[in-house]
Structures are given as C-alpha cells and as structure tokens.
A and B are shown apart, each in its own frame.
Chain A
C-alpha cells in the first residue's frame, strides 16, 4: 500500500530552535495525513512544536554533478570569510 502513497519530506521545529529542520521522510496519501504521520513517527519523544511537510517531488535539488561548478569557486576566495580583521582583546567568544 505504501508504495502507492507519495513520499513527503518532514521538517520539525524543535523546542529550542527557530528554524524547521529536515528530519526525514515518510509516505502518506495527502498533506493532512502526512502531518499526522509525522507527528506519530517523528515527535513521539517530545521533539517538536511545529511540523512542515512538503511533497518530495516538489523539492528541487542541486545536482551532485554540478558540485565543482557550484561550490569549488568559493574555496580560493578566503577574503569572503571575516578572518582578516584584528579582533580587540576585549571581545570574547567570537
């Protein structure tokens, strides 16, 4: 039966976080039931306060083959990181 149900990606906002984080995926016939199933599958141990679901088919991902073109150019642009500023002694925890 589950093979006939579409796949949904589940995002949970935890007690401590502001952002919804991806926690996994599950099968459900529609969004309403995906939320219910997510409640039962992913929040049984009091993990969350909010649930988002999105059809896996609706998520557009970057292609692993494009990794070089997309991400490698950043490797030699160290000046984009804020690492060249002398930090005053008084500033802690940075």
Chain B
C-alpha cells in the first residue's frame, strides 16, 4: 500500500520558519523607519539636521540589510534558493512586512518624527543589548554591531525630545501631542507571541516583555527632563497577535510601501 505521505512536501523545520519571521521583524523595523526618515531628505529644518537625521536613516537601512541577508540564509535552509535582500525589501506585499506599527507612522512635524524616533530608539537599544547575548551567533553579532550605532541614535532623539519639550510653548505642545498620539503603538513592542515565546525559550529571541520596565524608566526620565507628561497606558494597538509583527498594518503603510517599491517593481531585475 502506497504511503499517503510519500508525495507530500516534507514539513519545513518549524524553528527555521519561526526564525525567518523573527529576523524579518528585526529587518523590517530598520527598512521601514529608514524609508520614513528618507522622506525628510532635503526637507529638514536645517541643513545640519537634514544630514544628521538621514544619517540615522542610513544606519537603520544598513542594519536592515544585515538582517535581511541573514533572513535570506535562513529561508534558503527550508525553501531554497530563498529570496535575496532586494526581493525581500522590494517585492513583498504589505501583509508580509513584520515591522512594528510605530515605525510606519507618518513623519508629521519634526516633533512627531523625533517622538517616534525616541520611543523606538529607547526600545531598540534595549532589544539589541538583549540580542547581543543570543544563542544564535549571527543574531548576536549583528545586534552587537548595530547597538554601537543605536547608542548614538538614543542620545540624539532624547536630546530633541528635551529641547522641544522644554522649549517654547508651541514646541512643548507639539512634542506632548506627538508623544500622546504615538503612545498607543508602544504596547506592541513588549507583546510576546508564539514565535517569540518559542525562540525565547531556545535562547535565540529576546524576552520582549522584560524590556518593558527598563524602557518605561528611561522614557520617564527623559520625559521628566523635557517637562512632558508620561501618557497613561490605554488601548494599545496591535496586541493579541493582530499587529505589525504579524503583518497587520495601519492605513499609512501601503502608501509608504508603494513609494518605496515603485522603482524596483516597475523595472524588475534592473541593475544600476
């Protein structure tokens, strides 16, 4: 009697599928936030700030590329030949992007952009610190390298939050509005789903929930210095497996992605 399973595709190694998704989450945060920061090119409030902010974007893009290259390797293990960096960045649809809802939020005014950066950076540096001790050597190495850059990002964005928060009445109001508006996207950073739980148990992923208290205390310290009020946790977007990390995005994401991918999709395989 023929084995009914004989022609079935062998089950993928579940760990690698999960690892692929996890590495994509790391990659997509960098790629998406870099795209948002790139939208400021030529529009910064001062030449110096224009260069500085887009420098941060370039750092994040470089980190995104490192993560994507690793994602490619992992995917190749269970679905050869796997998709390369460019295909992953430019040919995936919105629902396949696993970045946080926070990073796709529109640039708004400069306070909006710096508040988004601040809330992300404070989390990012903690995450990379935790990932530097990952049992996955590639994750540990990329995280350690990226962390050096992100330590600078943290200082820069915190500095702007203080300058604008403790600045004029107008800048204070705008920074407070920005922090208040973005707050509901911060809960997702600390939500642990099955992928992170399994990879965390294996010592590969960081325990996102454990980052929450250190994040709150450093964010609270900067907000206090900036004379800003720390928002009260209310409804958090993207919880319970229905957020950016699972490919469910806000209305802003598709528009951003269209601009990011138009050239690559209009000229498939083009070289330059």
Q: List A residues at the B interface (Cβ < 8 Å).
A: 1-2, 5, 26-29, 32-33, 36-37, 40-41, 44
Q: Given A33-B159, A36-B156 in contact, is the A27-B52 Cβ separation under 8 Å?
A: no
Pick 26 A–B contacts, CB within 8 A, sort by A.
A1-B46, A2-B45, A2-B46, A2-B47, A2-B48, A26-B47, A26-B48, A27-B46, A27-B47, A27-B48, A28-B48, A36-B52, A36-B155, A36-B156, A36-B159, A37-B49, A37-B51, A37-B52, A40-B48, A40-B51, A40-B52, A40-B55, A41-B48, A41-B51, A41-B52, A44-B55
**In angstroms, how far is the closest chain B Cβ from the Cβ of A12?**
15
The residues of B that contact A26 with a CB separation of less than 8 Å are 47-48
Number of interface residues of B (CB under 8 A): 12
The residues of A that contact B46 with a CB separation of less than 8 Å are 1-2, 5, 27
The residues of A that contact B155 with a CB separation of less than 8 Å are 36
**In angstroms, how far is the closest chain A Cβ from the Cβ of B247?**
34
The docked-state distance in angstroms from the alpha carbon of A2 to that of B51 is 13
* B109-163 residues at the A interface, CB under 8 angstroms: 155-156, 159, 163
The docked-state distance in angstroms from the alpha carbon of A37 to that of B221 is 24
The docked-state distance in angstroms from the alpha carbon of A25 to that of B219 is 33
**In angstroms, how far is the closest chain A Cβ from the Cβ of B47?**
6
The residues of B that contact A28 with a CB separation of less than 8 Å are 48
The docked-state distance in angstroms from the alpha carbon of A36 to that of B49 is 10
The docked-state distance in angstroms from the alpha carbon of A29 to that of B47 is 13
The residues of B that contact A41 with a CB separation of less than 8 Å are 48, 51-52
